[in-house]
């Protein structure tokens, strides 16, 4: 998703495979090329995207909608194949963590048959997916989930395991904890769904916000205890990593601590 209808514009966010998005009207009298759409993702984040990357959503064909048997990708990435075999052909798709798919059949052992967004079918290995969870993860489970992504590269605007940015990473973690936060770090810090906490009172699962001042927040991460936090950053090594809060530049840049209500 781009800030304007051009591939050389800055990326603002991402819409993940299988996600239902809403086409909306941009503010002002913006005349965009026909091949572009202005969309909004389920977290109410707007941006421009190429029209040919989407398929129309018809009510009778609501992908991954109510009444469907759904599977969610639980590994960092997962391949979908045209048949239940990894050697015969290259994967049809490689999908990121959290992708939701419609199950249509299973072989009872290793494979699930799934329907794809375009109506075609493919096979995915059972070890790559699970049924959609019905309840939120605990804080300990959320931190364990976060550590699965250590080493995933930093990607500006990223919201998937192909590459997160800092706020996309914490937004994903909190979503699995049952908390649906806004997209950007500064908006997250000001959000009504969190309360301020003192640095001395930090608990695992609290959110940390960094910047030059409380009004200029540029980074976020999750506190995991023992003076450490996990985050996706370009500092030193551009990837998901664990840092110490007392180390520079973090101890100087910490401007806000928040706890979900």
Backbone angles phi, psi at 61, to 5 degrees: -120, 35
Task: Give catalytic status of residue 257 as yes or no.
Answer: no
Per-residue pLDDT, averaged over 18-34, amounts to 87
Class of the CATH domain delimited by 1-54: mainly beta
Fold topology of 60-131 = SH3 type barrels. (2.30.30)
Rg value, the chain, Cα: 20
Tokens coding 158: 């990223």
Lowest mean pLDDT among 17-21, 82-86, 131-135: 131-135
Lowest mean pLDDT among 52-56, 199-203, 231-235: 52-56
Name the one residue in this structure whose structure tokens are 């603002």: 12
Q: Which residues contact 143 (CB under 8 A, 6 or more apart)?
A: 204, 205, 222, 224, 225, 230
Tokens coding 110: 């290793």
Fold match flag (1-54 vs 60-131): yes
**Whole-number Å distance between alpha carbons of 208 and 185:** 10
Please identify which of the residues 58, 69, 120, 231 carries the catalytic annotation.
231
- Place 132 in a pLDDT band, splitting at 50, 70 and 90: confident
Angle at 15 between CA 13 and CA 21, to 5 degrees: 120
Please identify which of the residues 58, 69, 177, 219 carries the catalytic annotation.
219
Tokens coding 234: 């370009």
Tens of pLDDT, residue by residue over 146-199, are 999 999 999 999 999 999 999 999 999 999 999 999 999 999 999 999 999 999
Class of the CATH domain delimited by 139-260: alpha beta
Per-residue pLDDT, averaged over 43-47, amounts to 96
- For the chain, the farthest-separated pair of C-alpha atoms sits apart, in whole angstroms, at 57
Tens of pLDDT, residue by residue over 62-107, are 788 778 899 999 999 999 999 999 999 999 999 999 999 999 998 8
Tokens coding 216: 């200029």
Instruction: Name the residue among 69, 70, 85, 75 with its Cα closest to residue 128.
Output: 75
Residue 110: is its pLDDT beyond 70? yes
Task: Give catalytic status of residue 231 as yes or no.
Answer: yes
Please identify which of the residues 58, 166, 237, 257 carries the catalytic annotation.
166
Q: What pLDDT score does 61 carry?
A: 67
Angle separating helix axes 166-176 and 139-147, nearest 10 degrees: 140
Q: Which residues contact 241 (CB under 8 A, 6 or more apart)?
A: 150, 151, 230, 231, 232, 233
Task: Give catalytic status of residue 89 as yes or no.
Answer: no
Instruction: Name the residue among 202, 224, 78 with its Cα closest to residue 150.
Output: 224
The domain locations on the chain are 1-54, 60-131, 139-260
Name the one residue in this structure whose structure tokens are 């605990």: 138
- Place 59 in a pLDDT band, splitting at 50, 70 and 90: low
């Amino acid at each position: 998703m781009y800030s304007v209808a051009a591939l050389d514009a800055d990326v603002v966010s991402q819409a993940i495979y299988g996600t239902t998005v809403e086409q909306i009207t941009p503010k002002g009298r913006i005349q965009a090329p026909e091949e572009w759409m202005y969309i909004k993702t389920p977290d109410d984040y707007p941006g421009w995207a190429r029209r040919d990357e989407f398929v129309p959503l018809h009510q009778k064909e609501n992908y991954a909608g109510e009444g469907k048997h759904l599977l969610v990708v639980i590994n960092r990435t997962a391949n979908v194949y045209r048949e239940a075999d990894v050697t015969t052909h290259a994967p049809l798709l490689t999908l990121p963590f959290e992708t939701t798919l419609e199950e249509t059949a299973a072989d009872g052992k290793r494979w699930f048959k799934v329907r794809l967004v375009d109506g075609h079918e493919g096979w995915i290995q059972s070890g790559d997916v699970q049924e959609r969870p019905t309840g939120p993860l605990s804080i300990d489970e959320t931190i364990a989930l976060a550590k699965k992504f250590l080493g995933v590269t930093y990607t500006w605007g990223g919201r998937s395991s192909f590459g997160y940015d800092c706020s996309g990473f914490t937004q994903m973690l909190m979503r699995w904890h049952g908390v649906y936060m806004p997209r950007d770090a500064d908006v997250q810090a000001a959000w009504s769904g969190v309360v301020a906490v003192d640095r001395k009172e930090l608990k695992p699962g609290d959110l940390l916000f960094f910047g030059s001042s409380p009004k200029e927040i540029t980074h976020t991460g999750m506190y995991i205890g023992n003076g450490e936090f996990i985050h996706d950053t370009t500092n030193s090594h551009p990837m998901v990593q664990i840092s110490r809060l007392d180390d520079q530049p973090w101890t100087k840049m910490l401007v806000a601590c928040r706890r979900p209500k």
